[in-house]
Amino acid sequence: MQPRWEHFHHEADVGVRGIGATKDDAFAQAALALTAVVTEPGGVLAREAVDVRCEAPDDELLLAEWLNAVIYEMSTRGMVFGRFDVAIDDGRLRARAFGEPLDAGRHRPAVEPKGATYTALRVVRDGDAWIAQTVVDV
Amino acid sequence: MDPARLVRRSDTAWEIAPRGAMRVPAVIYASEALIRAMDDKVAEQAVNVAALPGIVGASYAMPDAHWGYGFPIGGVAAFDAARGGVVSAGGVGFDISCGVRCLHTGVTRGEVVAVQRRLADALFERIPAGMGRTGEIRLSAHDMDAMLAGGARWAVARGWGGAADLERIEERGAIAHAQPHRVSEQARRRQRDEMGTLGSGNHYLEVQEVVEVHDPGIADAYGLAQGAIVVMIHCGSRGLGHQIGTEFLRRMAIAAPSFGIHLPDRELACAPIASELGADYLGAMRAAINCALANRQILTHLVREVFADVLPQARLPLLYDVSHNTCKVERHVVDGRVRDLHVHRKGATRAFGPGHPDLPADLRAAGQPVLIGGSMGTGSYVLAGTLSSEAQAFSSACHGAGRAMSRQQALKRWSGRRVVDDLAARGILVRSPSQRGVAEEAPGAYKDVEAVVDAAEAAGLARKVARTAPLVCIKG
**Which residues in chain B come in under a pLDDT of 50?**
none
Q: Which amino acid is at B443?
A: P
Q: Three-state SS across B249-292? A: HHHHHHHHHHHCCCCCCHHHCEEECCCHHHHHHHHHHHHHHHHH
**Residue environment code for B61-82, b if the CB has 16+ CB neighbours within 10 A, otherwise e:** bbbbbbbbbbbbbbbbbbbbbe
State residue A12's pLDDT score: 78
Question: What's the number of domains chain A is made of?
Answer: 1
Q: How far apart are the first and last CA of chain B?
A: 32
Answer yes or no: is B412 within a domain.
no
Q: Is residue B415 part of a domain?
A: no
Residue B109 lies in a domain: yes
Residue from A9, A111, A135 whose CB has the most chain B CBs within 10 Å, to mutate: A111
- ipTM of predicted complex: 0.94
List, in sequence order, every beta strand (DSSP E) within B81-187: 86-88, 99-104
Whether B216 maps to a domain, the answer reads yes
Contact A134, A119 (CB under 8 A): yes
Which residue, among B381, B337, B385, has the nearest Cα to B358 in the 3D structure? B385
Task: Return the pLDDT at B44.
Answer: 96
Between positions 155 and 194 of B, the ones with CB within 8 A of A are: 186, 189-190, 192-193
Strand partners, B328: B343
State the SS3 of chain A. CCCEEEEECCCCCEEEEEEECCHHHHHHHHHHHHHHHHCCHHHCCCCEEEEEEEECCCHHHHHHHHHHHHHHHHHHHCEEEEEEEEEEECCEEEEEEEEEECCHHHHCCCCCCCEECCCCCEEEEECCEEEEEEEEEC
CA B432 to each of CA B54, B125, B408: distance values in angstroms, whole numbers, following the listed order: 44, 10, 19
Partnered with residue B73 across adjacent β-strands are: B66
| B342 among known catalytic residues | no
pLDDT for B132: 85
| Pairwise CB contact (< 8 Å): A112 & B131 | yes
Which domain covers residue B205, as residue numbers? Answer: 3-404+446-475
At B303 the three-state DSSP class reads: helix
Any domain includes B427: no
Of all residues in chain B, the one with the smallest CA distance to A11 is: B406
User: Would residue B414 count as lying in a domain?
Assistant: no
Q: Mark residue A124 as left, alpha or beta (left: phi above 0; alpha: psi -120 to 50; beta: remaining).
A: beta
pLDDT at residue A13 in the model: 86
Q: Which amino acid would we find at residue A105? A: G
Are B273 and B79 in contact by the 8 Å Cβ rule? The answer is yes
Nearest-by-Cβ selection for B94 from A104, A111, A137: A137
CATH number where B374 lies: 3.90.1860.10
Distance CA B86, CA B262 (A): 12
CA distances from B401 to A9, A119, A137, B103 (A): 19, 22, 18, 21
Whole-angstrom distance, CA of residue B307 vs CA of residue B367: 29
Contacts of A6 in chain B (CB under 8 A): none
Chain A interface residues (partner B, CB cutoff 8 A):
7, 9-14, 38, 56-57, 60-61, 64-65, 68, 71-72, 75-76, 78, 102, 104, 108-112, 114-119, 121, 135, 137-138
Taking only Cα atoms into account, the Rg of chain B, rounded to an integer number of angstroms, comes to 21
Residue B422 lies in a domain: no
Burial-class residue B426 by CB neighbours within 10 Å (0-12, 13-18, 19+): exposed
B:233-252 residues touching chain A, CB 8 A cutoff: 239, 242-243, 245-246, 249-250
CA angle B109, B202, B451 (to 5 degrees): 70
Pairing of strands A129-137, A48-55: unpaired
DSSP conformational letter for B247? H
| Predicted local confidence at residue B476, as pLDDT | 86
User: B41, B39, B30: which is closest to B8 by C-alpha?
Assistant: B30
Is the Cβ pair A137, B93 closer than 8 Å? yes
Contact B67 A10 (CB under 8 A): yes
The chain-wide mean pLDDT, for chain A, equals 96
Phi-psi region of A61 (alpha: psi -120 to 50; beta: other; left: phi over 0): alpha
Residue A94, domain CATH: 3.55.10.10
User: Which residues neighbour A2 within 8 Å (Cβ) at sequence distance 6 or greater?
Assistant: none
> B429-431 and B462-475 as β-strands: parallel, antiparallel, unpaired?
parallel
CA atoms within 13 A on the CB side of B313: 7
Read off the pLDDT of residues A57-105 as tens digits, 9 standing for 90 and up.
Answer: 999 999 999 999 999 999 999 999 999 999 999 999 999 999 999 999 9
Q: Residue A66 belongs to what domain range?
A: 4-137
Smallest CA–CA separation between A19 and chain B, in Å? Answer: 19
Which run of H or E residues covers position B344?
A: strand B337-346
B11 assigned to some structural domain: yes
| Closest in A11, A12, A68 to B246, CB measured | A68
B207 bridge partner residues: B231, B472
Q: Is the pLDDT of residue A1 over 90?
A: no
Cβ within 8 Å, pair B253-A118: yes
Count of the separate structural domains present in chain B: 1
For testing contact with chain B, the best of A9, A10, A11, A52 (most B CBs within 10 A): A11
Instruction: Find the residue in A nearest to B268 (Cα).
Output: A118
pLDDT for position B189: 96
